[in-house]
Amino acid sequence: MQPQFQIAGQATPEVSLQQNKVLRNTYMLLALTMVPTVIGALVGVQMQFSFFAGSPLISFMLFMGIAFGFMWGIERTKDSGLGVALLLGFTFFMGLMLSRILQVALGFSNGGSLIAMAAGGTGAIFFTLAGVATVTKKDFSFLGKFLFIGMVVVLLAALANIFFQIPALSLTISAVAVLIFSAYILYDISRIVNGGEDNYISATLMVYLDVYNVFVSLLNLLMAFGGERD
């Protein structure tokens, strides 16, 4: 059985080749997932789609149920083409969910610029941290427990803020989420590089969620501090 992490510089050529293949396929599939995400977002904006138009709590729980249902299905079928199909379906759904914040952003006179800045910032964070993980080949697995706890805290805080609607808390959640999911990019790419993840569909799902959450959180911050009304 292959150990979860290889010591840098001691991996056999065959293992290194496999790790490089998983990383390459992950990047290719991650690029592909952006297509249904953009399509879903455009459809949602055109339709004025709002998943949370009713009860925020019920909508939040329904969203989590659908999202975890997709993720469960992807993990169950990750060794087949069906896993790719489910992943692309999931990213279309996430694009639809993205349309609400895009509608809010486009309500600002500089909304297009804010979205572009959030996308550019997300890209810069991703390429920088993925580059660090790939070039250094350092094992960042020690971050896993801390990041998981941080993610749970952010999720619970977001759930609580559905009731309290405190702007300062919302900004704090977004700022912390940028840090946590940026670190998750480093952690998840490191796992691929060091052999901790050998399935590119699972790897793509994790990295996609990292990138998605960084983008949403950055856009929230940019709207709060740089949004301009007509």
Residue 5 is assigned to a structural domain of this protein = no
Q: 125: Cβ–Cβ under 8 A, 6 or more apart, which residues?
A: 182, 185, 214
Average of per-residue pLDDT across 29-47 = 94
Residue 46 is assigned to a structural domain of this protein = yes
Interval 116-154: pLDDT, tens: 999 999 999 999 999 999 998 888 989 999 999 999 999
Cα–Cα distance for residue pair 134/138, rounded to 1 Å: 8
Handedness of CA 68, 71, 76, 82 (dihedral sign): positive
Residue 51, token pair as written in the block = 């998943």
Residue 17 is assigned to a structural domain of this protein = yes
Q: How far is CA 63 from the centre of its chain?
A: 15
Residue 194 is assigned to a structural domain of this protein = yes
Range of the domain at 66: 13-226
Residue 7 is assigned to a structural domain of this protein = no
Residue 41 is assigned to a structural domain of this protein = yes
Percent of the chain scoring above 90 in pLDDT: 66
Domain total for the chain? 1
Which ranges of the chain does DSSP label H, i.e. alpha helix?
13-47, 56-76, 81-106, 111-136, 144-164, 167-193, 200-226
Residue matched to tokens 């065959």: 14
Report the length, in residues, of the chain. Answer: 230
Interval 62-117: pLDDT, tens: 888 999 999 999 999 999 999 999 999 999 999 999 998 999 999 999 989 999 99
Residue matched to tokens 């009304």: 229
